[in-house]
Amino acid sequence: MLRALVLQDSVPSIILWGPCGVGKTTLARIIAQTTKAQFKEMGATTHNVADLRKAFEDAKNLFQLARQRTIIFLDEIHRFTKAQQDIFLPFIEKGTITLIGATTENPSFRINNALLSRCRVLTLEKLSMEDGMDRMIRRAARIKWRDILEMAREEMTPVELDRYSTTIGKDEKSIDDWIDETIEPEAVKWLIDLSDGDGRSAINTLEIAIQALSTLILSDNVEQNYKQDVSPSKSTSSPGVLDKLISVKLTAEAVKNAFQKTHLQYDRQGDEHYNLISAMHKSVRGGDADAALYWLGRMLVAGEEPLYIARRLIRMASEDIGMADSSALPMAVATYQACQMIGMPECDVNLAHCVAYMARAKKSVDVYKAYGLIKQTVSEEFAYPVPIHLRNAPTTLMKDLGYGQEYKYNPSYPEGAKIDQEYLPKGLKKRKFLGEFPVMKLGEDGQWHL
């Protein structure tokens, strides 16, 4: 559908939604090159509302003078507040501009509803082998290797240059074939798997791995530089640049080593995501602040959404600390608000502050356990009626039926006075929920038992 609209030069305003490195910006640039419209590339991290107003005015003037439309590409559009996003509405409505917005966040939550109704949302998924990610990697390798081949040629002896012109450098196809042969299929597979569908990450890692190989190829050439009068027999006494080039291979191990320097493995939808948050939660519950901070760091450095962690901290404040330290809950809520207001990387210390505080705080699961018993009782037992003296009586009929009669208004009695009044239904009379759960005790054998 999009392809047909682009070829017809009738691209509507769209929001490109997808994770990092899946080609949102690249797709926008392809649209720009294919259509006849003027293309302006902007970013919410580097441009403000005033810049947008100027771009809109330029687009308006261009259309009036040359009848040429303008496509404005705004990267990270979710970084503009919903109020700021209102600026697009009149210009999209009048057809002054066509907006292409790119976001990694869910548009339903981060994009103005009025703007969403005027745009088509296109979802881009993580890249995979089926999407041609292997071809992208090999194409990037050809570009990188060609730069290195130019440097390598400057280090070659005349004899090596002659051999090069009849082997690797015979023609463009020979160069491409050689580059393809240097990359082992397993290395490509590792690049795709470790990058988790992020094309940018895969290419960056590939460049580092190839750069490391080039260092080995071009190293020690001060001692190995051959003068023009050096005989071929002497030049073969040690491997030269060309021999190193011919034997070089980009292996899976080289990819893994390069990846360790650029990317911490972490899948926000996979097992590791839940393993790390579970480890942090249990470390807080166990009172180990050092371990809790470590697991927090593992998640943040790997790119975890800080608000997800802050939400879990709010839950922990009531589940694990509870009434032992009631200030933990407002602390956790304040941390969530701090993450909302300043975001990463600044909010990392706010999260660390909260995690350390909660790990060192006294713990009580009384409320958590009590509410668990409440849910079990409600789901398994009879739905007992509200005692008549506790019922609301807003009408005369209800009062005549006895609703609210014999209710004792507690503030009318002296403070601390024991008032004989039941609040639970008769079927649950004297039932205790709070604090009524078994606790481990240390036995004479030195082991803990219920």
**pLDDT digits over 174-190, tens only?**
888 888 888 889 988 88
Do residues 69 and 31 touch, judged by C-beta distance below 8 A?
no
Given a cut of 90, whether residue 433 has pLDDT beyond it is no
Q: How far is CA 300 from the centre of its chain?
A: 10
Given a cut of 80, whether residue 9 has pLDDT beyond it is no
| 35-44, 202-211, 252-261, 421-430: segment of lowest average pLDDT | 252-261
Given a cut of 60, whether residue 59 has pLDDT beyond it is yes
pLDDT of residue 262: 45
Do residues 124 and 166 touch, judged by C-beta distance below 8 A?
no
Given a cut of 60, whether residue 265 has pLDDT beyond it is no
Is pTM beyond 0.85? Reply is no
HSE toward the beta carbon, residue 45, CA cutoff 13 A: 5
Residues 191-219, mean pLDDT to the nearest whole number: 84
- Assign residue 406 a region: left if phi > 0, alpha if psi is -120 to 50, beta otherwise? left
**Average pLDDT of the chain to the nearest whole number:** 85
Rounded Cα–Cα distance for residues 364 and 73 (Å): 52
Q: Name, of 20-24, 221-225, 337-341, the range with top average pLDDT.
A: 337-341
Given a cut of 50, whether residue 233 has pLDDT beyond it is no
Given a cut of 70, whether residue 313 has pLDDT beyond it is yes
Per-residue pLDDT reduced to its tens digit, 122-156: 888 888 888 888 899 999 999 988 888 888 888 88
With cut-offs at 50, 70 and 90, classify the pLDDT of residue 222.
very low
pLDDT of residue 225: 40
